[in-house]
Structure 1
Amino acid sequence: MPELPEVEVTRRSFADAIAGARVESVRLGKPLRWPLGIEPAQLRGEWVGQAQRRGKYLWLPLGQGGLLMHLGMSGSLNFSATAAEPGPHDHFDLRTDRGVLRLTDPRRFGAVVWSPSLEDDPAAKLLSNLGLEPFDARFDGAHLHAGLAGRKVAVKLALLAGDIVVGAGNVYACEALFRAGIDPRTPAHKLSRPRCARLADAVRAVLAQALEAGGTTLRDFKDAHGVAGSFQMQAEVYGREGLACLRCGSKIKRIVQGQRSTFFCPSCQKR
C-alpha cells in the first residue's frame, strides 16, 4: 500500500508539471471506491492549481474546487505528455493541455472525489480524523505522549491508526520503533515522555530518509514518471526476519499485529 512517503514522492513528480494546465477532458473507467461527485464535462476548461498532500490524500485544485485523490491499496498516478489507450486497470484520466494524469488501480480501492474545498464535504469529512503531519512543528514527544495516554493497544498499532500522526505506515512504524529502541508490543499508554520524544524523532527521521530514497517499492510502487523507490534497501528490520541485527547481531523476529507483519530486534528493543 502506498504510504505517506510514496504519496509525497508521487506528488512531487507531477505537481509542477501540471500546475497551470487547462483541463481538456476527463475519462472515467470502472467505478472506484467512491463516485466522482461531479459530471466530468463540468471540469472541462478548469485551470489546475498546485497539488498538495494531506496524509495519504492528494488535493488537486481545479477552478472553484478540486479533486481529492487516494491511491488505495494498489493505485498509482502517472503523468505523461501523451497517454496510451487505457488498459483494464486505468480508471481515471485527467487530460490537460500539458499532458495526461492517469490513475491506475488494479484493486479499485483508490478514489478520485470532487469537493468544493478542503474545508467542505466530502473532503472535510474524509480528512477529519487525520493526525498531525510528521514534519509539523507541533509533532513532538509531548504531543505523542498525550495521544498515547489511555491507549492500551500495542504502540505499533497506535502509530498505524494515524489519528496522532500520519505517515507511520507499517514499514516506517517498524523502522521508527527500532531506532527508538521500543518493543512494538509495548502498551502505548506505558511509554514515558523521554521514550515518546525518542520515538517522535525517529518517526521524522525515518520518513525523511524514505522521502530521500523515493519511497519504498515492495511490489510495484512507482512515481508519476515510472521511477521506483529504494528505501526497502535501507531498512534495518523490515523484511529481515532471521537475519542478524545490524546493531547487536541478534536474529530479527517477525510477529503479526493487526494482520500486519511486524519486524523487530528482541535485544535492542525493550518493553
Structure 2
Amino acid sequence: MPELPEVETTRRGIKPWLQGHAVTQVIIRQPKLRWVVPEAVMALQGQVVRELTRRGKYILLHTDAGIGLIHLGMSGSLRIVDADVAPRKHDHFDLVLASGKVVRYHDPRRFGAFLWADGDPLQHALLRDLGPEPLSDMFDGDYLFAQSRQRTVSVKVFIMNAHIVVGVGNIYANEALFSAGIDPRCAAGSISRERYVQLAQAIRQILTYAIECGGTTLRDFVREDGTPGYFKLELKVYGCTGQACAGCQNPIIQITQGQRSTWFCPVCQT
C-alpha cells in the first residue's frame, strides 16, 4: 500500500507536468472507487492547476474553481502518459492536459479516491482531524511524549494512528522502531520523553531517506514514470522474518499487532 514516501514521490513526480498547466478534460471510466467519484470533479476541466500539495496520503490539486483530492488507496498509482496511449484495464480516470500529456490513475483494487473540495481543503471531513505531518516543525519527541500519556495501546499502533501523526504506515513504523531500539509491544504511555525524541528523529530520518529513494516497491507501488522505488533495498526488519538482525545477528521475529504484521529484533529493541 502506498505510504507517505510513495505519495510524496508521486506528488513530486507529477508536479512538473501538472502545476501551472491547464486540464482540458476529465475522463472518468470507473466512478466506483472507495467512494463514488462526484460529478463536482468535472469543475477541473478548463482550470489551471495553481499548486500541487500533499496532506497525509492525499494529493491536492489547487485550482481557482476548487481543489481535487486524490488518494492512491491500497494499489493506486498516477502516471504520466501521452494522450494517444490506450488505457489499460484498471485505468480508472484521466486528467488530460493542454500539453498533450495525461495524468492517468491506475488502481486494480479500486480502493483509492478522487474527490472535490470547494472551500479550505484542510477542513474537508477526511483531512480536518489528521495529526501533524511527520516532516513538519509541529512533530517532535516532545509532541509524541505529550500525546502518549495514559495510553496503554502499543507504541507501534500509537505512531500508526493518523490522528496522532500522518503517514507513518506499517513499513516505516517497523523500521523507525528498530532504528530507535524500541520494542513495538511497549505501551505508548510507558515510554520516556528521551526515547520519544529518538523515535521522532528516526521517523523523520527514515521517511526523508525513503522519499529520496523514491519510496518502497513491495508489490503494487511504482513511481509516476512506471519505475520502482528503491527503499526496499534498505529495509532492516520489515518482511525479514528469521533473517539475521543487522545489529546483533539474532533472528528477526514476526508477530501480529492491530491486525498488521510487526517485525522486530527482541535483543536490540527493548
- Give, in whole Å, the separation in 1 of the partners of 2:63 and 2:36: 17
The equivalent of 2:52 in structure 1 is 51
Structure 1: how far apart are the matches of 2:8 and 2:41?
Answer: 26
Residues 122-179 of structure 1 deviation map (CA, whole Å, 9 limit, x = unaligned): x621102211111111211110011111221111011111211112110100010001
User: Which amino acid in structure 2 is aligned with residue 209 of structure 1?
Assistant: Y
Q: CA deviation at 1:42?
A: 3.7
Matched with 1:111 is 113
Secondary structure of the 1:126 match is: coil
Q: Is 1:65 matched with 2:91?
A: no
- One-letter amino acid matched to 2:165: V
The aligned counterpart of 1:188 is 188
Q: 1:128 & 1:42 partners in 2: Cα distance?
A: 23
The separation in 2 between residues aligned to 1:2 and 1:8, in whole angstroms, is 10
Q: Contact (CA 8 Å) 2:67, 2:121: kept in 1 or not?
A: no
Alignment gaps of 5+ in structure 2: none
How far residue 39 of structure 1 moved from its aligned partner, in angstroms, is 4.7
1:145 equivalenced with 2:135 (yes/no): no
Which 4+ residue blocks in structure 1 deviate beyond 6 angstroms? none
In structure 1, distance between residues paired with 2:247 and 2:220: 30
Equivalent position amino acid for 2:269 in 1 = Q
How many residues align? The count is 268
TM-score normalised to structure 2 length:
0.95
TM-score (norm 1): 0.95
**Greater alpha carbon shift after TM alignment, 253-262 vs 74-83:** 74-83
Instruction: Note closer, same or farther for the CA distance 1:178–1:23 as it changes in structure 2 (3 Å cut).
Output: same
1:244 aligns with 2:238: no
Residue in structure 1 matched with residue 217 of structure 2 by the alignment:
217
Counterpart AA for 2:119 = S
| 2:121–2:127 Cα contact (<8 Å) kept | no
SS of alignment partner, residue 201 of structure 1: helix
Q: Could you say what the CA RMSD is over the residues aligned between the two structures, in angstroms?
A: 1.4
Alignment-derived partner of residue 24 in structure 2: 24
Q: State the AA in 1 paired with 2:11.
A: R
Is 1:13 matched with 2:8? no
Give the aligned partner of residue 103 of structure 2: 101
Runs of 5+ unmatched residues, structure 1: none
Aligned counterparts of 2:85 and 2:212: Cα–Cα separation in 1: 30
Counterpart Cα distance in 2 of 1:144 and 1:57: 23
- The question of whether the paired residues in 1 share the 8 Å contact of 2:95 and 2:103 is answered with yes
